[in-house]
Structure 1
């Protein structure tokens, strides 16, 4: 999802008359103590019903019809995706379907509903600012792992290991236990003697990924020695260094460590 492009299109929406824009931010986060019993279902039902009741009491038949068309489509999306919910749902919609944006996001939202002339974009903008397209580089001596994330979701990941006998980095499909032919003490000694030369060979590859994938932020994660040595070889500016060895952690745990 190209959120910047979506935001630009949504910012241009201005509706007149009965066919207004529906906005929904729905917190479905199962880790939220307030959502343990699936309370989002009640909040969703009440939010939709409140608009309907208001329009019925106002005797605004044309606007009520527009809202009911939107309601049907929104309810269909919610029902169809209920088994695959993440932490939140964002929807923008109009009855004539000129506007339809529906996304399940991996970020907690404040539940809110709107029916007005323009979409309400405050939370969507905040999410983009808090979770831009990022490159997370985990380093551990002769191993490097790159996680690309956007909107708190993993978009891509690559793992590399250096064969210290040939000084060649190779891409792996998954991180292994390291070079099994090298004892840890020997690896430590060789790393301390060669770390800048080793990282100088792979840093340009990561710089190119950062440029090609248009990373807005770059984080380097690992113990102080490897992270500083790797940072010294990067041309792209590093936004933050986290001195914690997380190379073997689940990628979602790494995102939690960085973005909370």
Structure 2
């Protein structure tokens, strides 16, 4: 399992190098919506940032440290080249020549351009981002449908859909959201009324079956915050049945909304 941002921060806090084996830190703004980035200015900032260190080390006549920096530079530039087409709003890199430190991530957050070559990694921006955009989960509930969003650093990592099979009374993972089942005889209105009545009578028992699944997902994903989104009694009932505390409940029906829009609403 990859480290969370909080775990990464704690790891980096203990990193300290000596002599010629410094730590490289880079925060690069690649946000295309930034008015200052319309012409791909990030490429110029990246080139200048790298060149400044190289020029300084050449003038200082420190061959070993210069060679270490060139190794780190190559690794960083290779990452940039491989991921350029998937750039979001920023890139963060921490690296050492001996591979003891390597962290490279494209993030959905605007960064301030910063470059460091020193004994310790510079983690102030990472700390700010972790506080503003924690690792969080969002549970959206609408009667017999539940959608779970796993998010970190303002980015959707994974989405899981559950739907209750009202015949077997089992919650099953689905590939996409569906409308509530309306099993029963008769026309559409009779079916809907029958389902609504059955759901009202069994809501507590049905939600009690999925609550442990959601608790396990929250634990496995190490969520720092958890939000519940749903209208009426559904969200409140499911909240009561989960052991994991809920940080906030939004009384809105957003099950069919785009995940990024849900995340924006939660973090607003």
After TM superposition, the score normalised by the length of structure 2 is 0.83
Question: Quick one: which of 123, 126, 129 aligns to 1:124?
Answer: 126
SS in 2 for 1:246: coil
Deviates more, 1:178-187 or 1:241-250: 178-187
Gapped runs of 5+ residues in structure 2? Answer: none
SS in 2 for 1:50: helix
1:2 is matched with: 3
- Deviation readout 1:240-259 (Å, 9 max, x if unpaired): 11222111112222222223
- Call closer, same or farther: CA 1:171–1:98 in 2, change over 3 Å: closer
For residues 83 and 170 of structure 2, what CA distance do their matches in structure 1 show? Answer: 45
Post-superposition offset of 1:187: 4.5
Q: Does 1:31 align with 2:39?
A: no
Post-superposition offset of 1:235: 2.3
- Deviation readout 1:106-141 (Å, 9 max, x if unpaired): 332222111111111122233333444332110112
For residues 57 and 155 of structure 1, what CA distance do their matches in structure 2 show? Answer: 45
Question: Quick one: which of 240, 243, 257 aligns to 1:249?
Answer: 257
1:237 is matched with: 245
1:87 is matched with: 89
1:74 is matched with: 76
2:224 is matched with: 216
Deviates more, 1:121-130 or 1:13-22: 121-130
Post-superposition offset of 1:146: 1.4
SS in 2 for 1:78: helix
Give the root-mean-square deviation of aligned CA atoms: 2.6
Aligned pair count reads 260
After TM superposition, the score normalised by the length of structure 1 is 0.85
For residues 108 and 100 of structure 1, what CA distance do their matches in structure 2 show? Answer: 21
- Call closer, same or farther: CA 1:178–1:119 in 2, change over 3 Å: same
Gapped runs of 5+ residues in structure 1? Answer: none
Deviates more, 1:112-121 or 1:101-110: 101-110
For residues 74 and 166 of structure 2, what CA distance do their matches in structure 1 show? Answer: 61
- Call closer, same or farther: CA 1:35–1:243 in 2, change over 3 Å: farther
Question: Quick one: which of 196, 199, 207 aligns to 2:215?
Answer: 207
